[in-house]
Amino acid sequence: MREAMNVQSILIKEPGNFNQENLRQLFDLAEHNLPSLLKYANQIRKEQVGDEVHLRGIIEFSNYCSCHCLYCGLRAENRKISRYRLTNQEIFQSVQTAVNYGLKTIVLQSGEDRFYQPEDIARLIEFIKKHFDVAITLSVGEHPHQSYQIWRNAGADRYLLKHETADPILYQKLRPGKNLQDRIECLLDLKDLGYQIGSGNMVGLPGQTLTSLIDDVLLMKKLNVEMAGIGPFLPHPDTPLVGSSAGSLTETLKILAITRIILPTIHLPATTAISTVNDDARRLALESGANVIMPNFTPLTVRDQYVIYPQKIDIIEDPEQSVNKLKKLLKEMNRTISMSYGHAVKIKTYSLTKKEAYHGFGSQ
């Protein structure tokens, strides 16, 4: 296949040694022949992880957040949303609903809510693991190593902590009071503790460059993440970035495809952010290397208050509508829903050291 030959001619020069130069060549190829790149990424997906699509049920159990991220609707300064915390019973009912639809992974997600003690989250994990046959992914932000250890001991399997951008300067600008090195340190701690880790980035951030986008892919490669959540930047009206342009679907699909090529066995979601762009975006992502979808099982009574970005596609869909729509789409695409936990195809080693994390990551 011509698209395979074009991509392989770039990668074969230094197999496994990905850098700014050869990834820039992939971006150049995408500029001139994006369909070929997407088709090749989809071919890699089929060969490496098959036609199964993993459904992972998200439960957004708190929208309180102590962070001040310029792009996020949950930022502490946003007084226009009603803050909520689900009760344990509401969380368990949401898990039960997801399990009733056959899901084998639950994603417990929240803002960085300091109300919860590590033991509170641990008890939640232990109860779910005792009563439901599911894998658990946590997505609750940056925490001390000890907290990650407690949650791992309680039974958490995976942790999603998106790095958002691998540009250290842009990172600090967009996340006041935070730095990229600490984020990477958290990911390394999680990896050391045996979590399957997920990271990811936004595409189209104000101030983002091609160099920083390539660094996003390189960082995930160096960390050997098991999952990467990649989506377009979508400006929220109640944040300082309200007037900024949104990231494009085309650029997002390009990054998604290149990530699949560079990390062939990774789990790649067709993210909710991608699906929000237009009605066909989820299908396009699944045709560009994606193999995961995350339907929302947060109670409808509060779901519209967990608005990281505007016009989230999953705000008004009840679980039955959402799952039936996904089943219909996957049937049309000759893809099947996985009945497994969706663990990493293989647990990989990582090459980024804590020393490198302390000295920063990014192009010099």
C-alpha span between 65 and 83 (Å, rounded):
9
- The set of residues, in sequence order, having a beta carbon less than 8 Å from that of 138 and lying 6+ positions away, is 107, 108, 121, 125, 151, 156, 158, 159, 160
67 assigned ligand-binding residue: no
234 assigned ligand-binding residue: yes
The token duo for 167 is 């540009």
Alpha-helix residue ranges (DSSP H) falling in 108-248: 118-131, 145-154, 168-174, 180-192, 210-223
Is the Cβ–Cβ distance between 261 and 7 less than 8 Å? yes
183 assigned ligand-binding residue: yes
- Give, rounded to a whole angstrom, the gap between the first and last alpha carbons of the chain: 36
C-alpha span between 364 and 357 (Å, rounded):
14
186 assigned ligand-binding residue: no
C-alpha span between 248 and 208 (Å, rounded):
13
351 assigned ligand-binding residue: no
The token duo for 212 is 């920083």
114 assigned ligand-binding residue: no
Give CA angle at 281 (227, 64), nearest 5°.
55
Q: How long a stretch of residues is the chain?
A: 364
> What are the binding residues for S-adenosyl-L-methionine?
164, 175, 183, 234
> What are the binding residues?
65, 69, 72, 139, 164, 175, 183, 234
> What are the binding residues for [4Fe-4S] cluster?
65, 69, 72
> What are the binding residues for (3R)-3-methyl-D-ornithine?
139
